[in-house]
Chain A
Amino acid sequence: AQSVTQLDSQVPVFEEAPVELRCNYSSSVSVYLFWYVQYPNQGLQLLLKYLSGSTLVKGINGFEAEFNKSQTSFHLRKPSVHISDTAEYFCAVSASGGTSYGKLTFGQGTILTVHP
């Protein structure tokens, strides 16, 4: 089974400042990793994914994340945030094989609030 821990439930930040949203995972098998964003009363939008290859992955809206296998982390970063980045962010993991292959396990979410 997989589990995901998002270390911060809320992150306030000022506009144009950098931000890091932290995510750690636990799994006995190899995994795929994802970050999703959810705006109020909407569905989830895929920001970026790590399936294999380069550990630094770039996504939409200027976000990037780095897969660190030794630390079992997949932190999300953006060098300069905008007001429009205010939303809830979810880290998710999927086993890359086995009986859990396919389904996503989500962290509890981090609410990013960007202040002017």
Chain B
Amino acid sequence: NAGVMQNPRHLVRRRGQEARLRCSPMKGHSHVYWYRQLPEEGLKFMVYLQKENIIDESGMPKERFSAEFPKEGPSILRIQQVVRGDSAAYFCASSQGQGREQYFGPGTRLTVT
């Protein structure tokens, strides 16, 4: 019974490159959430998606960040033209439905050099 899977676990990008973070939810879960953990800011909500739909993107930065959860395949969090301030741990969580408990993946640790 696989849990939430994220890859890669560690990602190093130079300033200006693109970062793609992948998340496969638990089996039977169709709701995916992305959170970012910064050392001085704690865990912050970014975006909530259901298959092919963005439900809530109130936590997403207005520029350079996008997310998708296609009908087939994992959810993708995409960061264009990365900057040093994007260095953080990015966690994906999934749930069976809205408001249900969320189960977290191991995270992707992004380092921008």
- The chain A residues found within 8 Å of chain B, CB to CB, are 32, 34, 36, 41-46, 49, 90, 94, 96-97, 99-109
Q: Which single residue of chain A is at the shortest CB-CB distance from B46?
A: A103
Question: Is B42's CB under 8 angstroms from A105's CB?
Answer: no
Complex CA–CA separation, A102 to B102 (angstroms): 9
The 8 Å CB contact of A32, one of B43, B93, B99, B103, is: B99
Q: Which residues of B contact A36 (CB under 8 A)?
A: 104
Question: Is A109's CB under 8 angstroms from B104's CB?
Answer: no
What is the size category of the interface that chain B forms with chain A?
Answer: 20 to 34
Name the distance in Å between A89's Cβ and chain B's nearest Cβ. Answer: 12
B91 interface hit (Cβ, 8 Å): yes
Decide if the interface of chain B is mainly helix, strand, loop or mixed: strand
Would you give the 0/1 interface string for B89-113, flagging 1 where the beta carbon is closer than 8 Å to chain A? 0010101001101111111010000
Q: Given A44-B91, A108-B42, decide whether A103 and B59 contact each other with a Cβ distance below 8 A.
A: yes
Q: Given A42-B106, A45-B104, A102-B33, decide whether A107 and B99 contact each other with a Cβ distance below 8 A.
A: no
Which of A32, A90, A94, A104 has the largest number of chain B CB atoms within 10 A?
A: A104
B52 interface hit (Cβ, 8 Å): no
Question: Is A43's CB under 8 angstroms from B99's CB?
Answer: no
